[in-house]
Amino acid sequence: MRRIELAYQLSTRERPAGNGSALLRNPMMDVLHAVKASGSISGAARELGLSYRHVWGQLKEWEADLGQGLIFWERGQAARLTPFGEKLLAAERLAQARLGPQMENLRAELERAFALMLDGEATEHPQLTLYASHDHALAELVDFAARDAGGSGQGEAQRLHLDVQFCGSVDAIRALNEGRCKIAGFHTQPFADAHTLTARTYRPLLKPGLHKIIGFARRTQGLVVAPGNPLRLRDVADVARLQARFVNRAKGTGTRLLLDELLAQAGLPSGDVDGYERVERSHAAVAHAVASGSADVGLGTEYAARSAGLGFVPVTDERYLLVCLKNTLDEPPLQRLLERLRSRPWQERLAALPGYRPDHCGEVAAMKRLLPWWG
């Protein structure tokens, strides 16, 4: 079995908002990605800012080390990856997609550790533990809170470290109620009235007078499909009727709950969906399954679909919310988070993400205002 060695690098450059590049970089995968995209070694070298000779030499060295060819070396022909090279690239993409949430947490923790040592900080910045349904905007918020004071002009003294643990929406609220975190993130649908599965799932977990809801974002969820939507899928009824190969999310996630809600609305049993029991751990992993051709469709965010270069069919514009216990709302870390969420720089950064827009961002509201089943 081949061994994997992990590495990272320090940089003073800001990470671009909505950056869809790999969280864990590998020179060989970067070259293979570039060769596949450009169709030539010279094009890959230009894309990576390297010389043709350097890239050529690296490819030959990696092939010798692995004992298998990575590209077809055909004079006068476009560069193509070998079946082994394609499998290698697909395996790396799948691992990156599945482990994305954990790698986001690891990167944020490393940045925080180095900031404490290298920035000459006498005391550690406030930390806030947040369990949440996996969300790309939250990953951006971790970076924003650690680097920026939300436009307050107070710089370093206003940084906030968010220790985010990604899990399902239901599990996140349970973690809050069990005292494992100070704040939780979950998402819900605007059509979820008091009689829906969504209401029956969340309502026992949230209590007026005990919890406070904090507005965060609207995000678009829908069908993640191949470019051009070759099966012409419009909704879950089409998915079932055409027996499209589906990839699902795990039990306890808000997206799994959304699918069950949509199936109930259409009067369809879960058994009518080919692949209902096949699950992936993140929106990015669902998108990868469609991009690799192992699935025809999945339910996920517009951000995940666009980042993977896939097609997207909007289904619902859902509300992503944060919730905390009422008696912790006045604690300094939570107040600092609210300041970030209300700041113009953060809301502009959020609005720049595909499929996202601010929604009562940083506003502490009554449940009946932001949760439809309390109306």
Residue 310, domain CATH: 3.40.190.290
Q: Is 60 exceeded by the pLDDT of residue 123?
A: no
The region of weakest confidence among 9-23, 33-47, 70-84 is: 9-23
32-45 pLDDT per residue, tens: 988 988 888 888 89
What pLDDT score does 119 carry? Answer: 58
Question: Same domain for 110 and 72?
Answer: no
219-268 pLDDT per residue, tens: 999 999 999 999 999 999 999 999 999 999 988 888 999 999 999 999 99
256 with 248: CB under 8 angstroms? yes
What pLDDT score does 18 carry? Answer: 41
Q: Is 70 exceeded by the pLDDT of residue 23?
A: no
Question: Same domain for 123 and 256?
Answer: yes
Question: Containing domain of residue 128, as a range?
Answer: 94-374
Tally of domains in the chain: 2
CA distance 137 to 326: 24
What pLDDT score does 99 carry? Answer: 73
Question: Same domain for 188 and 270?
Answer: yes
pTM here is: 0.75
Sign, CA dihedral 232-238-244-247, equals positive
What pLDDT score does 157 carry? Answer: 46
Question: Same domain for 198 and 317?
Answer: yes
Where residue 60 sits, what CATH number does that domain have? Answer: 1.10.10.10
| Last residue within a domain, chosen from 44, 59, 81 | 81
Question: Same domain for 153 and 47?
Answer: no
Question: Same domain for 244 and 102?
Answer: yes
Q: Is 50 exceeded by the pLDDT of residue 150?
A: no
Q: Which residue has the higher pLDDT, 27 or 117?
A: 27
What letter does residue 178 receive in the DSSP assignment? T
Question: Same domain for 151 and 249?
Answer: yes
Question: Same domain for 117 and 55?
Answer: no
Question: Same domain for 181 and 39?
Answer: no
Q: Is 80 exceeded by the pLDDT of residue 115?
A: no
Question: Same domain for 188 and 288?
Answer: yes
Question: Same domain for 222 and 258?
Answer: yes
Cβ partners under 8 Å of residue 207, min gap 6:
none
**Phi, psi for residue 202 in degrees, rounded to 5:** -85, -35
Please give the angle made by the CA atoms of 178, 183 and 189, to the nearest 5 degrees: 100
**Phi, psi for residue 365 in degrees, rounded to 5:** -130, 160
Average pLDDT of span 351-362: 95
Question: Same domain for 74 and 215?
Answer: no
